[in-house]
Amino acid sequence: MRFWLNCMTMLTILCVSQVVAAEQQQAGAEEAKPFLTVKLLDETGKPVEGAQTGMVAIVNGFDREQGASWTFGHFELTSDSEGLIQFRDPDKYRGMVYARHAGRGLVAVKRTDLIEDKQSPLVLTMYPECHVTWKIKSSQLNQIGKETGKVRGLSASENMICQWCQDTGSTLHFFLPPGTFSIVGHSNHINPVEKTIVIKAGKKEFDAGMSDARAKQWILLEGQPAPEITDVREWKNGPPVKLSQLRGKVVVLEFWGWWCGPCVYSGIPELFKLREEYSQDELAIIGIHTPYGEDDEVTSVKELDGKLIKIRKNIWKGKTINFPVALTHFRKLPFSPEGEPIANAKMNVEYGINSFPSSIVIDRQGNVVGKLNLWEKADRDKLKQLIEAK
């Protein structure tokens, strides 16, 4: 599951250096010189013109007749007549080159940040792509009449993500060259499943079979008493809080971290709005601060406050967190008895949380309502109805 952890890093981590870099951008700066030049050749040694690469390669739809719907996200680059692609902005380069020529069905995948002595240009051969399919189901969810939700997929070479897949139903699609790859399937409702595949040269289709994923714990908890808050190192903004003391109030448990971009840009600001809209007698908000890794753990409220100084100034416009926050211990634990230790805190295991931010709502009786996206109108309306129902 190491690949899955790397994927989550890319999806959620906000480094302080990124915030500082945003402050230091200068308009009208001269175009930077390329720090990496890649030359793409086909198997005959001829340059491949018109191949695309970018920060992220995404399959965002698939039809058997029309094929895959493709995007390379932001910062897309295209090879020239000599097969050259020049990378100029290190902040928009992840160390992975995934290049595809959709018309010719050619793909090149190479992790380049591990190459100590890079020649310029770095020559990469593009091979005929193999269409990989992988079906994901969840017997556990089927037994309780729940859906798996929108399934997404990730693939990696040399332990770094090279492709995403989404909006293709329960079957994931990847387009990869010969080699060894890790693939991961996940959704908001299921824990990630991972497997390793080996694609042989000349293979055009590869069926990765079907994997049965376990349901996330918060779905199994719906309608059940909410697990208590445990394994806390220190509390911010007051004494320890017990959920049993909050009966009669609607509760939002916010799983977040100072290191998480979506948390500090969207999640916490939404809680600011909720705090202004509803009184503490109606709605209790509790932050569950979770480290992503050992280096991200904060051991005291003072340390957390130090991490948030620039965020408060540049993102929160001077606002500060005024609700209780539990600082959890960093612990590597499995989400299920037979699973690998990929959870990073005991509270994450109790509620099945592996994406951030995550908002768990608890009703006035102390039972789990579910995981709500508080920035979406439908879920915000659901929260409002819970609060207004006396």
pLDDT tens per residue, range 40-99: 999 999 999 999 998 789 999 998 888 899 898 777 999 999 999 999 888 778 789 999
Q: Give residues with Cβ within 8 angstroms of 270, minimum separation 6.
A: 374, 375
Q: What is the pLDDT of residues 338-383, one digit of tens each?
A: 778 888 999 999 999 988 999 999 999 999 999 999 999 999 999 9
Structure confidence by residue, pLDDT tens digits, 7-30: 544 443 333 334 334 344 433 334
CA distance 133 to 152: 13
Q: What is the mean pLDDT of residues 279-299?
A: 94
Q: Say what the pLDDT of residue 23 is.
A: 41
Query: What's the pLDDT at 31?
Result: 63
For residues 252 and 372, give the distance between their C-alpha atoms in angstroms, rounded to a whole number: 9
**Structure confidence at residue 48 (pLDDT):** 98
pLDDT at 299: 94
Domain boundaries, given as residue ranges, for the chain: 33-212, 217-388
Cβ atoms 148, 197 nearer than 8 A = no
Q: What is the mean pLDDT of residues 288-292?
A: 95
**The whole model's pTM is what?**
0.80
Give the architecture-level CATH label for domain 217-388. Answer: 3-Layer(aba) Sandwich (3.40)
The reply to whether domains 33-212 and 217-388 share a CATH topology is no
Q: What pLDDT does 277 receive?
A: 95
- Measuring CA to CA, which residue among 279, 189, 289, 188 is closest to residue 229? 289
Give the model's pLDDT for residue 192.
86
Least Cα distance to 220 among 375, 364, 352 occurs for 352
Amino acid at 334: P
Question: What CA–CA distance (Å, rounded) separates 186 from 239?
Answer: 37
- In this predicted structure, what is the pLDDT of residue 163? 95
Question: What pLDDT is attached to residue 335?
Answer: 87
Q: Which residues of 120-159 are buried (b: 16+ CB within 10 A; e: fewer)?
A: ebbebbbbbbbbbebbbbbebbeeeebebeebbbbbbbbe
DSSP string, 80-123: -TT-EEEE--GGG--SEEEEEETTTTEEEEEE-TT-SS--SSEE
CATH of domain 33-212: 2.60.40.10
> Chain-wide mean pLDDT for the chain?
90
pLDDT at residue number 16: 36
Q: Tell me: the pLDDT tens digits for 192-204?
A: 899 999 999 999 9
User: What pLDDT sits at residue 10?
Assistant: 44
pLDDT > 70: percent of the chain: 92
- The pLDDT of residue 337 is 81
Strands 67-71 and 58-63: antiparallel
Q: What pLDDT, on a 0 to 100 scale, did the predictor assign at position 100? A: 96
Q: What is the pLDDT of residues 206-221, one digit of tens each?
A: 999 999 999 999 999 9
Q: Tell me the sheet residues that pair with 182.
A: 156, 196
Choice between 260 and 354, residue whose per-residue pLDDT is larger:
260
pLDDT tens for each residue of 140-180 = 999 999 999 899 999 999 999 999 999 999 999 999 999 99
The more confident residue out of 340 and 320 is 320
Please indicate whether residue 272 or residue 64 has the higher confidence score (pLDDT): 272
Q: Give the C-alpha separation, 89 to 64, whole Å.
A: 37
Of residues 387 and 30, more confidence is placed in 387
| Dist CA 101 CA 181 (whole Å) | 20
